[in-house]
Chains A and B, each alone.
Chain A
Amino acid sequence: MPSIPPWLWKTIATLTTISVTLLGLLFVTFMIGRVMPIDPVLAVIGERATQAQYNDTFIALGLDRPLLVQFWIYVRDALHGDFGQSIRTGQDVSSDIARVFPATFELATLGTIFGVVIGVPLGVLAAVRRGTWIDQVARFVGLIGYSMPIFWLGLVGLLVFYGILGWVSGPGRVGIFYQGIVEPITGMLLVDSLLRGEWDVFKSAFSHIILPASLLGYFSLAYISRMTRSFMLEQMNSEYIITARVKGLSEWQVVWGHAFRNIRIQLITVIALAYANLLEGSVLTEIIFAWPGIGQYITTSLLANDMNAVLGGTIVIGSIFVGINIFSDLLYRFFDPRAK
């Protein structure tokens, strides 16, 4: 019998990790759904139903079966993308999420782009010019980013840039006159309005998204620049950098051609994690900016005691989070020979 090749072994191990983690996520949400003080039957039929109706629904919801069987059904439904119906909107939770998710995706993506475009060069500069003013600036930016409540910064941003200066538009995704003009293609308004050639809608959408996106971008900038700096410092202190300098390479070549090349993989991991964090961080930002994304969906459902919607949203964000985590881990192992 031929022995199992190592790559196959690794693939099996990774797939097991993914499925165990996702199963764990489902188990946690399942348990949360079970311990909550709201009676799931009453949530469906209302408080005035008769005992007979109560019993029927109790059985229809499968609550009379053993917990393990219920969990099995729950997992099976979730794998089919069925998270039940939302009591608040009266629609399937999965179709609700599919509707609101692009807004969050758009916001988090733009935020991450800001974070990368500013954070990476800032981190590199801070490491190369260690101890100078630019290093202090980078440190200060990071420290503020780690200590500031994001929802508060959002409010202050609205006050300053919308209320006082009037540079950007206020809460919401697009101006009231432009709502519903663009037929969704991807669900991302910036992309859709460009594809449809609706230039005015694009301008309005852009002036709405710029503030929340730069806000989220600031938080990922804080993280990305800090990590970039420490990765770069490690490289800049290595001996091959001295060799490169002795060879007479320009400082630009040394920094970007040698040191930066070696941190690319680590950096992609960090950016992936920052992105996952932004998807989560957008919950509070969406509330402040009345942004119709998944964060707002979860919170509104939560306040309406709509547990199916809350748990469905939790599973979706959780799975993306898990997926990005594992993806960055794999990427790291694949590209970095030392990790093998």
Chain B
Amino acid sequence: MSDTQNLREWLLSDQPSSRRHAVLSSWYIGWLRFRSNTLAMVGLGVLIFLILAAIFAPLLATDDPFAQDLGQRLLRPGTDGHIFGTDGLGRDIYSRILYGARISLYIVLLVMMVAPLLGLIVGTVAGYAGGWIDIILMRITDIFLAFPRLILALAFVAALGAGIENAVLAISLTAWPPYARIARAETLTIRNSDYIHAIWLQGAGPLRIVTRHIWPLCISSLVVRVTLDMAGIILTAAGLGFLGLGAQPPSPEWGAMISDGRAYILDSWWVATIPGLAIFSISLAFNLLGDGLRDVLDPKDSGS
């Protein structure tokens, strides 16, 4: 008991004894602020739950998500050990939802790796270089920002062919502009600060200044924005899946599952309804988490 008490005191000390101490205590204070936001904690909880469900899908699933059994088709939830019932081909919906979580998280991870990085590069280069490079890059950003996201993603997928990776690419190509704007705005405020001049005088080149000294300061506002955008990205991905342009059958992608259930909506409501609830829960979780993170990391625009 006294150990945890000491740890807490050590973390909350206002005179950090080392760099690591300072970093840890600022993380801890952020965590305390985050923890006091109940809704954000709910979001985090749902997300952790979904991640665990995705990791342990093979253990938790009661059936093979691809195994068809036409004798068992369209069973109501709860019959014969099918918690969420079965779909039009007799596949267990519960098991498919679990495996579908893997696909959703896979899409989220891929978009998270591509879009913010692209935005970060464009935004910081534009902000740091200034002049013509800035004007051209920002004009391109504005052009992409003015595009309707889903329609453009549709056109990209049409050109590249349907599939998860192409859907991710299409979504990333339409999702980066806001990140570029944020990164540029941050860069402009940092660019002329004394510490950047100091590093410059020490002989650091532009590449080093941008990647080592500007990027880290853009991260927190990007994290907030990415988390808040993730809900929209999941919805777009599910929409593409629903239209048959994302994950291809028989893959248990949630949007595609809703599309399958569309034919039976009036008689067998669960086939389309349950994957929809899954999509809803993951995007709600990201929205709640994003709101909470914004309060911790970016208090100046918290939407109170």
Contact = CB atoms under 8 A, between A and B. Distances in A.
A151 interface: yes
Interface stretch (B82-90, B192-200, B207-215, B238-246): B238-246
Nearest to A29: B155
Contacts of A148: 280, 283
Contact of B159 (A32, A163, A284): A32
Contacts of B161: 37
Interface in B62-95: none
A276 interface: yes
Interface stretch (B47-55, B145-153, B182-190): B145-153
Contacts of B143: 20-21, 24-25, 28
B272 A20 contact: no
B284 A147 contact: yes
B148 A21 contact: no
Given A21-B143, A36-B158, A159-B265, A149 B151 contact: no
Contact of B158 (A28, A158, A302, A317): A302
A310 B149 CA distance: 15
Interface in A131-166: 143-144, 146-153, 155-156, 158-159, 163
B239 A284 contact: yes
B279 interface: yes
A29 B303 CA distance: 37
Given A29-B155, A36-B159, A230-B303, A284 B245 contact: no
A151 B236 CA distance: 11
B158 A307 contact: yes
Interface string B216-244: 00000000000000011001001100111
B266 A314 contact: no
B276 A314 contact: no
Interface stretch (A89-97, A197-205, A256-264, A318-326): A318-326
A224 B152 CA distance: 24
B142 to A, nearest CB: 7
Nearest to B261: A155
Contact of A280 (B148, B158, B303): B148
B269 interface: yes
Contacts of A298: 151, 154
Contact of B156 (A24, A32, A155, A288): A32
Contacts of A33: 159
B140 A287 contact: no
Given A32-B159, A146-B287, A279 B148 contact: yes
A149 B143 CA distance: 26
A32 B265 CA distance: 36
Interface in A289-304: 298-299, 302-303
Given A149-B280, A152-B280, A283 B151 contact: yes
Interface residues of A, number: 53
Contacts of B275: 152
Contacts of A149: 235, 238-239, 242, 255, 258, 276, 279-280, 283
B148 A151 contact: no
A35 interface: yes
Nearest to A287: B243
Interface in B102-161: 139-140, 142-144, 146-152, 154-156, 158-161
A270 interface: no
Given A143-B284, A147-B287, A149-B239, A20 B154 contact: no
Contacts of A37: 159-161
A244 B265 CA distance: 55
B262 interface: yes
B179 to A, nearest CB: 18
B273 interface: yes
A311 interface: yes
B276 A156 contact: yes
Contacts of A144: 284
A325 B273 CA distance: 35
Contacts of A147: 231, 235, 280, 283-284, 286-287
B239 A155 contact: no
B287 A143 contact: yes
Contacts of A17: 142
A147 B269 CA distance: 21
Contact of B142 (A21, A152, A163): A21
A155 B265 contact: yes
Contacts of A321: 146-148
B156 to A, nearest CB: 6
B228 to A, nearest CB: 9
12 contacts: A17-B142, A24-B140, A32-B155, A149-B276, A149-B279, A151-B239, A151-B242, A158-B265, A283-B239, A284-B239, A299-B154, A314-B152
Interface of A: 17, 20-21, 24-25, 28-29, 32-33, 35-37, 143-144, 146-153, 155-156, 158-159, 163, 230, 233, 276-277, 279-281, 283-284, 287-288, 298-299, 302-303, 307, 310-311, 313-314, 317-318, 321-322, 325-326
Please list the 3 inter-chain residue pairs (A to B) with the smallest Cβ-Cβ separation, ordered nearest first.
A152-B276, A24-B143, A36-B159
Given A35-B160, A155-B273, A287-B243, 4 more contacts: A35-B159, A37-B160, A276-B148, A317-B151
